[in-house]
Amino acid sequence: MPMYLRKTLHSLSLLLGVTFISFLLMVYFGPDRSYAIAGKNPDTAQLEEIRQQLGYDQAFLSRYFTHIKDLASLNLGQSESNGKPVSQLLAETIPVSLLVLLPGFLVGNLLALLLAMVAAWYRHSWPDRLLTNLSLAGVSISFLIIIILLSTWLCTPQGLNLFPSRGWRVDSLASWFTYATVPSLALIIVTVFFNLRFYRALLLDEMQQDYIRTARAYGAGPFSIMFKEALPNTLIPFLTRLLFSLPAILVSGSLLLESYFGIPGVGKVSFDAIFNADQPVLNAIVSLSAILVIVIAWLADFIYPYLDPRINLQAESP
């Protein structure tokens, strides 16, 4: 079987797995929604009808297939707390989350990579020690503490009071700066601390390879060695980390950041959904983000051959 086929099959099996788990937890063993829908004092016939509509009387497997079909057609139901269609809710909030999180996420990763280059270049001398020790101390500070310290410093009268401490009314670049600067700064700090040591280890590994010795023997300078020789060899693990932390940041990072700063993104929506046990919303977010992870991983497999010519997806796999 060629590699790409095997990888695709593997991704499909993972898709079955995550949809099955979300089905079990959120639908099959999830809360019985018929009472909520039926309103006060329903009679048995009414309940029976609603249960039929919800498909509760169907067999296990056929309910699971309905669940998959709904996910595939983005037919995600309605939020129980505000009655909006879940797909509409997501369409409104995902762009907000991207605006809050993506810039900080990207800048943080690039900054971590640059600092990792400095550390790897000066390995075992003071710039390296300083950076690696700082980042170890940095990852030991909870994201929460960083957010509180930053917002107390930048958003309250005790500090500089430069930015609003909560809210989101963004319609222009200037307003983006007003509302997104502090959350982005917090995210940048955390991203740098979180990634610096990993990227340093990647680069350090490459710096010990023979081809770097060749480059040095042929007069390559620090810039050339880092960017033209070592970096192309670390692109795959770098990109993998970047891609795989993206869904986690989007969902989990926004949970804290958005509920703290009162930003109406996916995180805020999931936060509210958890509190209100809003099953359709939670189900949609958990299922879709898990699917997103798998799809990203699957797509990444098709990018890798462009980054490393040694990878051959046509090759027969064992």
Give the span between the Cα atoms of 291 and 19, in whole angstroms.
8
> Whole-number minimum distance, CB 45 to another protein, in Å?
30
**161 belongs to the binding site for another protein (CB under 8 A):** no
Nearest to 268 by CA among 256, 279, 280: 256
170: phi > 0 → left, psi -120 to 50 → alpha, else beta; which?
A: beta
Q: Which stretch binds another protein (CB under 8 A): 16-24, 68-76, 78-86, 94-102?
A: 16-24
CB-nearer residue toward another protein: 178 or 259: 259
Looking only at residues 140 through 159 of this chain, which bind another protein when binding is defined by CB under 8 A? 140-145, 148, 152, 156-158
CB of 233 to another protein, least distance (A): 6
Helix H, strand E, coil C: the string for 252-292 is: HHHHHHHHHHCCCCHHHHHHHHHHCCCHHHHHHHHHHHHHH
Strand partners, 316: 2
Instruction: State the residue for tokens 């009472």.
Output: 35
Does residue 109 belong to the site contacting another protein (CB under 8 A)?
no
Judged by CB under 8 A, the stretch of 15-23, 58-66, 89-97, 178-186 that binds another protein is 15-23
27 binds another protein (CB under 8 A): no
Q: Which stretch binds another protein (CB under 8 A): 19-27, 43-51, 56-64, 84-92?
A: 19-27
Q: Is 239 in the site for another protein (CB under 8 A)?
A: no
- 53, 82, 88, 133: which one contacts another protein (CB under 8 A)? 133
Interatomic CA distance for residues 256 and 276, integer angstroms: 17
Q: Which of residues 243-302 bind another protein (CB under 8 A)?
A: 247-248, 251-252, 255-256, 259, 270-271, 274-275, 277, 282, 285-286, 289-291, 293-294, 297
Rounded Cα distance between 234 and 229, Å, is: 10
CA 137 to CA 127: how far, in whole Å? 15
Q: List binders of another protein among 162-201 (CB under 8 A).
A: 197, 201
**Is 303 among the residues that bind another protein (CB under 8 A)?**
no
Rounded to whole angstroms, the Cα distance separating 280 from 30 reads 10
